[in-house]
Amino acid sequence: MDKTRTRTLQQKSSAKWLIHLFPLPALLVYVIFVLYPLFSAFTYSLYDWKGIAKGSFVGLQNFIMLFQQEPYNEMFARAFGHNVIYFVGEMIVQNGIAFALAYIIYRKIRGAEFLKAAYFLPRLLSVIIVGFLWKLILNPNFGALNTLLAKVGLQEWARPWLGDPDTALYAIILVNSWFGIGFAVLIFLAGLQAIPEELIEAARLEGAGGLRLLTRIILPLCMPSLTIMSVLTFIQAFEAFELVYAMQGSMGEPYYSTDTLAVFFYRLTFGGAGGGDTVAIGLGSALAVVLFAIVASVSALSLYVMRKREVQH
Amino acid sequence: MKTSIAARSLQVLFAYLFALIALYPILLMIGSSFKTNQQIFANPLSLPTSFSFKNYAELWEAVPFADFLWNSVIVSVASVLLILLFSAMAAFYIARFSFKWNGYLYFFFLLGLMIPVKLGIVPLFLLMKKLGLLNSLWSLILIYTGSGIPISVFILTGFLRTLPVQLEEAARMDGCNNFQVFWKILLPLVRPALGTVMIINFIQAWNDFFFPLIFIQKEELKTIPVGMLSLFGEYEANWSLLFAGLTLSALPMIVVFLLASKQFMEGLTAGAVK
């Protein structure tokens, strides 16, 4: 073997080794700033904490406290209930209206591009801007909504939307729907447009029209996009924090009527739970584990179901 | 389809009514930013009678808005560039080589799609403190890069797998090494997917307010969303100022959207549907 040939061989093998550097930067940043903090939070939940100093190992004590001791257990149950309402409300208002709008656009309408862009525009704003804007609009004295109601003769309907415990949570759900509807329209529209034209044609030839066509053919064939949107809505509902924080503060006012698990988590972690300023990192971490379990299990399950369905097709 | 004209007109009406509901609050926000407080309180719904930029001048005095804007630009651009580079490199490795651990590596990245990053905020806070990155824009750049990587690796790997290998083989025959194949051949080919990744992550980084809320205390280091938080905390009663702040905060994103609305809508849904 002559010398030049050995050199090229060596160069080749060193270049080959270098390829393993390619995934490294992504892997490092992802592990250090996403995975490591999450798994640390899991271990934190098993320790007693004094402020931000880690104390002794206490096993499942924090979880027991979260579920059994007042006021934590009450706050947990109430916030969990609100998350469920949030999810159901979003499914009905946001996704229900979005599907109707997507269906109308799918059936051809003049100005479809304009409509899609208009619905979508709010989605681009920061949630904090959305929250603050609507706080001004819903203001009981000078807000645009109550003024509008008075103008059209419905002044009895006017109320302090965000100050009344009976309406505050629903007001936030509606604002969130305003924010998210355009995205849902696009997802549903993509689902509708993926239905093969022949299938609808064939069904129509057999006399299926209007409602029957919608419920028997279109809805079942839209299942993938409906599933995706339901899962995204679920995740978003159970992580709901920013809008509540922007509009009702970290106490989920009035009287915790808009409190969610993520807001409760924020209070435990950064102070404000149980009235005082004390932080409860052990409890907060326990709540983080519970929240993670809820969100991850639903998204894993849906992923599994979707993959299975893909195989069947 | 057999829908009566009446039913169809009702549908069209419904569709345009919702466009109005979507747009009106934004128009109200922009319109109110040109009004005085008296005009807003006396008649919240009316259009401004004159266009006065007094509120904007006042806003400039009240908060360091130029700083907020600059910080948002730095954080979003830096994190998007890092995400594009790192994810493309990782996707290249996963999609174009067949080492026996590649399947696991891909799955490992995909796990990140299920992780609510905010739940790790306490360890993350302590980590940033240890690294001396609290009150530094780097804390935000790193966390946005880390949390953007899973979806980006997912999109880019999917796209790379659809590309034919012939070009690459030809390049290798001509003596290109892995770096050259990656940089000169594949990167230009995945441009559409890079656009999608860019849009998804840009919106995320630009609009986030949770992490700067926790990591940034110094006024001059705040990004636009947390800057609004201090504005609303201090000038609660000065609505014309608040509307001006909201309008100015929303404006950059609205302008970018008007320039490339199609790419935005396709990009953001691509991440979800695939």
CATH no. for residue B204? Answer: 1.10.3720.10
Spatial separation of the C-alpha atoms in residues A150 and A35, rounded to whole Å: 52
Looking at beta carbons, which residues of chain A come within 8 Å of B111? Answer: 35
| One domain, residues B107 and B203 | yes
Indicate the residue among B200, B219, B234 that finishes a domain: B234
| One domain, residues B120 and B211 | yes
Indicate the residue among B56, B72, B87 that finishes a domain: B56
| One domain, residues B51 and B123 | no
Looking at beta carbons, which residues of chain A come within 8 Å of B182? Answer: 22
| One domain, residues B106 and B41 | no
Residue B183 sits in which domain range?
63-234
In a domain, B105, yes or no: yes
Over residues B105-162, the pLDDT tens digits come to 999 998 888 888 899 999 999 999 999 999 999 999 999 999 999 999 999 999 999 8
| One domain, residues B84 and B175 | yes
Q: Under an 8 A CB cutoff, do A265 and B1 touch?
A: no
Spatial separation of the C-alpha atoms in residues B25 and A119, rounded to whole Å: 12
pLDDT of residue A1 exceeding 50, the answer is no
Q: Under an 8 A CB cutoff, do B1 and A127 touch?
A: no
Vertex A301 angle, CA A228 and B266, to 5°? 20
In a domain, B114, yes or no: yes
Looking at beta carbons, which residues of chain A come within 8 Å of B273? Answer: 187, 190, 225, 228
Q: Under an 8 A CB cutoff, do B239 and A142 touch?
A: yes
- In this prediction, the residues of chain B whose per-residue pLDDT falls under 70 are 1-3, 271-274
pLDDT at A95: 96
| One domain, residues B153 and B48 | no
Taking CA–CA distances from B157, the nearest residue in chain A reads A23
Q: Which one is predicted more confidently, B118 or A307? A: B118
| One domain, residues B207 and B72 | yes
| One domain, residues B21 and B116 | no
Q: Poorest-confidence range of A155-159, A240-244, A258-262, B25-29?
A: A155-159
Over residues A170-215, the pLDDT tens digits come to 999 999 999 999 999 999 999 999 888 888 888 878 776 677 888 8
In a domain, B196, yes or no: yes
In a domain, B42, yes or no: yes
Looking at beta carbons, which residues of chain B come within 8 Å of A62? Answer: none
β-strand partners of A54: A49
pLDDT of residue A6 exceeding 90, the answer is no
Among A129, A241, A296, select the one facing B114 at the smallest CB separation: A296
In a domain, B200, yes or no: yes
Provide the shortest C-alpha distance from residue B182 to chain A (in Å).
10
Among B23, B178, B257, select the one facing A124 at the smallest CB separation: B257
In a domain, B261, yes or no: no
Band the pLDDT of A97: cuts 50, 70, 90: very high
Among B43, B87, B232, select the one facing A26 at the smallest CB separation: B87
Q: Under an 8 A CB cutoff, do A23 and B90 touch?
A: yes
Among A123, A144, A281, select the one facing B44 at the smallest CB separation: A144
Distance of CA A73 to the CA centre of its chain: 24
pLDDT at A14: 55
Taking CA–CA distances from B26, the nearest residue in chain A reads A122
pLDDT of residue A47 exceeding 80, the answer is yes
pLDDT at A152: 87
Give the mutation candidate from B134, B176, B265, B268 for the A interface (greatest A CB count, under 10 A). B265
- Give the residue from A115, A93, A209, A119 showing the smallest Cα distance to B12: A115
Q: Under an 8 A CB cutoff, do A183 and B242 touch?
A: no
Taking CA–CA distances from A126, the nearest residue in chain B reads B207
| One domain, residues B132 and B194 | yes
Any idea of the CA torsion for B40, A126, B263, A193, to the nearest 10 degrees? -90
pLDDT at A309: 66
| One domain, residues B217 and B88 | yes
pLDDT of residue A281 exceeding 80, the answer is yes
What's the domain count of chain B? 2
The answer to whether A62 and A273 are in contact (CB under 8 A) is: no
Taking the alpha carbons at both ends of chain B, their separation in whole angstroms is 30
| One domain, residues B170 and B217 | yes
Query: Rounded to whole angstroms, what are the CA distances from A190 to A224, A227, B15, B163?
Result: 10, 13, 17, 23
What domains are there in chain A, each with its CATH number?
62-312 (1.10.3720.10)
In a domain, B123, yes or no: yes
Looking at beta carbons, which residues of chain A come within 8 Å of B216? Answer: none
| One domain, residues B67 and B26 | no
Provide the shortest C-alpha distance from residue A91 to chain B (in Å).
17
State what percent of residues in chain B have pLDDT above 70.
Answer: 97
Provide the shortest C-alpha distance from residue A144 to chain B (in Å).
5
In a domain, B221, yes or no: yes
- A163 by DSSP, 3-state: which? coil
Looking at beta carbons, which residues of chain B come within 8 Å of A119? Answer: 18-19, 22
Band the pLDDT of A67: cuts 50, 70, 90: very high
- Phi/psi of residue A308, nearest 5 degrees: -60, -45
pLDDT of residue A285 exceeding 50, the answer is yes
- Give the residue from B159, B97, B187 showing the smallest Cα distance to A23: B97
Do β-strands A47-50 and A53-57 pair in parallel, antiparallel, or remain unpaired?
antiparallel
